[in-house]
Chain A
């Protein structure tokens, strides 16, 4: 890795923000959530990303406020450390090295200086068992402290967040796993276990999913797989314990949370409805429906004014006073899987892929923010598990971004496949895509590939399908209006073989379609089969034309570990190499191509030019698992790197999804330096909820306002004076223990309130110029000083 130091794989946006329960700070201004290997800080009022806390080297698995200092947070990570941060300034205060991967963290006010962690049982590599341990955090001045004194509290706990909760005043901790609830009392050092029957007979799924303890009373709420919520009481008795059952959810209860005063219980599940139970009046409940996706976590701010719900579509919703959605923090939606290819929208340069069910999302890679969702399916999504619903499975843009083609399909077990092809035209007026043509059942079977012709003259779409045909679709021009519609122009096939992939040459003059083992080359102008290329056995998995100077080359990857390169001028095989290529991607701005190979459980990357046999860059063991999706995203600013190894990153950047749906990219040293510099520029010191928007407009507006006020009311300028004075600044900002005596300060302070006659005259000049008598001037001064005295208590408070 040393020689690759200049190119680094980094998480650039798109990390999961719904992985763990977020934290709302005491003043309700920030929301902190674990996002990949860092902790992101968002503003709750503007939903803007403020900064992140970076330092962990593995997945962050929990964030909690430090109970003894509300300006600090603890975060734990699978890298085996607990870190203490000052989140307002993003400063790492301390690192506690635990030495085991940590899965959850719990703290309580009563247990100062102790954190409770969920770590694997002794032999952590093999076992699936976890335990809850208490770790006493040592007081020490060092930045890095080893805290290896773990004392086990509970054995066999669930590693999921929300499976344990501290009870009233931290007297006990309740933990659920499977069909068992365990309550551990710290004072008596005794635990009580309560088991439920599996209840499979009656269709009840009794397994626990989450737990939350009432903050003021001894009542434990547990959520269950069949949607029931049980409220446990009297749980310090082995037999006389009792529970009541609440049932609204029809799916599993994913999360439960009591409000800080314990007056309400919040619950959420797949229904994507936040249910608001009134404690002790359980049949009264309020709902906040239509939150978009299944709720996975609920967090409440310490003053109870803000709720936040995390959703399965990588979204955090901030809810004000129980009823109003005030902000939505949307990450990259990954849902159940990425069905479409990764595409770059030529207009907005945004990454496009399927997002929310039935939607295409446009995600800005540069700003790490979702731009908007385009609803494709236009059918109501039913929040229920196990339903077959329409999914967007394919999408393509034409070269200029004027047209968008989407394919949606619904797979039904045993029933016919439903496919719809939709074509969308870009509307300049509304700046969005408008549905132009809907083709129901464009093919009889799944569509495997879909591309627009890159040629500027014709707008043509080619779809290939498993039904053995490929179809070309043309925009039928109508003379009277620009309201043209799309129609099928040509249906092609080759010996009833199933086409798996297709590719247009860079100028759109050639179309190659891979029919299992055979590659056919067609001329889109005349629909003539120009030539067929075949290769050693193995179905073609991926086809790709070279770009720019290499456009004469056609590359094909086969299932039988072959990567072939044909020269289309000679119609002969130029070279081939044994590689198990899972994905072939061409950079539209250069000759470079990227090939992802899967080898022994991990993926390798090769970047090469088709004309040269030697790779420009190669990276072994990129990540575990197969890389299924990758895309070259053009940079908005070219890099000026001359180094051979990093040259391929100059024009565009390569993004790819790992098996675990992490969006990764490559970055160079110079790029990172530049980023760092720009982020420093952006850093604002005075108020924190400042957004780029404010930076642009806010300051400007403020200045304008000041000017206006000065014009309309000359006195206003005067009243601002004391705050700005040096004496007061000194008074307020000097630490108390170095301040001089009050009598000295008082004199200084009073003096500061007096205005020198010259400045007074200058400012009052416009008013007083008509009567230049001396006593009038004096009067004005007196008025002024009394005014200052009136405002005195305000400043001291």
Chain B
């Protein structure tokens, strides 16, 4: 595997924000997820839960609820606005004031023709969904008290609305409230507090299921307005409900971090009548409030205050154990937040609100593998750069010489010139930017820092020439395919000849930078690329996909490399395929051209292309075994994948030019310790 000096970086205080809302689009199998900071993430559930798109947040935006209408995504929040998102340019398309005070919830009917929102002032407002816009239609009868939750009956004729202490059922054509279901308050001291109906679900048999702040999940008959059954689930709040597609199961998320499943079961076997809602399983994968829930065909997806997304597969829906039937927790974004200046040992950390520039520590000590070397120079924070404006940073880049720094929000791009001499650092903003450069999905510098590439709309790439005094627009590289999807990955070759850009349509375009034209389109593979890199000497392009496939393409010929062909033929080891986090970074060892360094959240791996590939029978994680073997026996046990799990919760692994490895860790424990205290729970024997 080789020996490296490792910079173990733990000073990146990355802190994800809590998950607030979730909406699953069963048609496209995309999950939209809204966080507290107003950002929206799109996960592709057909492609290994890959985080396909991220729409950066904005200070003034808060999202309370998300809703899909066909392929269009709407959100509503406490700022009183409804927004529709442009999923191709990763920005809000427009937003509309609803004039009803803060909006708690937004839903659409099954036909996708109408939207309904629940407002603080007690109105349910209906909006008509038009081709490019939405338009206010009318109000339903105004109620006293806020509308917290809404659910549309599948036929579209009725809406159930959860309010304070009650649930109203509205007749949509007339707009009148037809039922008033009173919800009990909690016991004891909470008797004086109003019960908030956090969530309602209207089933096709006119059953209304509600979850409230008294910890109850209640089943009501929507025709008669009578209470059928009460399940007291928790001492705290039931925050979210989700119904499965066939309406045989309801899941409820609570403040205790549990997700409780209810199933519609007949009391006796072989009978269909007299079915009841019975509490069955309890899943506990969260420590804090479960604010958002979605029950999809094969899994329960949940998220909440503890910031991670959990996909809990329902094992009965799987025939055999596979990578799809394993529990998945998504903690970190599937993209890079760290840029590394390889030549000078600088690190740039990207936060939504700021950028941090650090210089790595230095040590000239020597030691055995596994030793801690004494630091001669402590790592140092050189720069804290706060963004301007309300929009959050969506991408950033640091040139490899450390002389240039750039970031982009949805509204502007900023480029800075950095000068470090000894201990002084000076930063100057490049004032005049070309007009074409108004926002970017990805930023990237060429290795000699003479050019900057910005991914723009419709998969195009702007080429900007950088000189000491100014920066100048050079060219726009356009793909031939006419894809409108945003580019999420970009990489350049060391010799400055090639640029590869991957977009959400799984296309990878390779551009010749000398000729400034498209060189080739890499054959489209079914899974989205999650990381890629161009080899410094051979200029081969290595692509790792969300489904963990590794392909290496010879750029000049746009053919699969021999090694890669062999790999395809033989197939990857199951242990490799079963890993649950995508590879987010690819680098190469300039000293040993056969070595490719990859990492995901739980491990980093050096692929040595000169060694034989492992077949299914070989032990995959063989580092411990190898250590116990003698020198003579070792070569026979070697295989191409060398995996190191010493470092956990990785955000970035990169190889500097001086052959030292930078490992950026963000321990999950550090994240949890920064979360607010969870609700108090009685623990046995305490």
Contacts and interface: CB of A to CB of B under 8 A. Distances in A.
B680 interface: no
B232 A242 contact: no
B268 A282 contact: no
Contacts of B263: 233-234, 242
A794 B315 CA distance: 66
A244 B233 CA distance: 12
Chain B interface mostly: strand
Contacts of B278: 233, 244, 280
Contacts of B268: 168, 217-218
B233 to A, nearest CB: 8
A531 interface: no
A239 B315 CA distance: 8
A244 B282 contact: yes
Contacts of A243: 280-281
Interface residues of B, number: 22
A280 B233 CA distance: 12
Q: Which of B233, B279, B281, B315: most chain A Cβ within 10 A?
A: B279
Nearest to A172: B269
B219 to A, nearest CB: 12
A234 B265 contact: yes
B267 A217 contact: yes
A241 B316 contact: yes
A244 B260 CA distance: 9
A244 B269 contact: no
Contacts of A483: none
B265 A283 contact: no
B281 A236 contact: no
Interface in A216-254: 216-219, 233-236, 239-245, 250
Interface string B392-409: 000000000000000000
A244 B270 contact: no
B280 A282 contact: no
Interface in B279-334: 279-282, 315-317
B280 A283 contact: no
B401 to A, nearest CB: 49
Contacts, number: 48
A236 B269 contact: yes
B232 A283 contact: yes
Interface in B221-278: 229, 231-233, 261, 263, 265, 267-270, 276, 278
Interface in A613-672: none
Contacts of A219: 267
Interface of A is mostly: loop
B684 A218 contact: no
Interface string A280-308: 10111000000000000000000000000
Question: Interface size class for chain A?
Answer: 20 to 34
B513 to A, nearest CB: 53
Nearest to B279: A244
Residue among A219, A241, A243 with max Cβ neighbours from chain B (10 Å): A219
Contacts of B685: 250
A217 B267 CA distance: 5
Contact of A242 (B276, B281, B317): B281
Contact of A218 (B232, B261, B267, B317): B267
A386 to B, nearest CB: 13
A241 B265 CA distance: 10
Contacts of B279: 244, 282
A249 to B, nearest CB: 10
Given A233-B280, A283-B232, A242 B270 contact: no
Nearest to A214: B267
B267 A242 contact: no
Contacts of A241: 316
A683 B16 CA distance: 83
Nearest to A234: B265
Contacts of B316: 239-242
A544 B284 CA distance: 66
A233 B267 CA distance: 8
A263 B517 CA distance: 77
Contacts of A242: 261, 263, 265, 280-281, 316
A252 B333 CA distance: 43
A243 B279 CA distance: 9
Contacts of B265: 233-234, 242
B602 to A, nearest CB: 18
A170 to B, nearest CB: 14
B270 A236 contact: yes
Contacts of A245: 281-282
B287 to A, nearest CB: 15
11 contacts: A218-B268, A218-B269, A233-B263, A233-B280, A234-B263, A239-B315, A239-B317, A240-B316, A242-B281, A243-B281, A283-B232
Given A241-B316, A242-B316, 18 more contacts: A168-B268, A217-B267, A217-B268, A218-B267, A218-B269, A219-B267, A233-B263, A236-B269, A236-B270, A240-B316, A242-B263, A242-B265, A244-B282, A245-B282, A250-B684, A250-B685, A280-B278, A283-B231
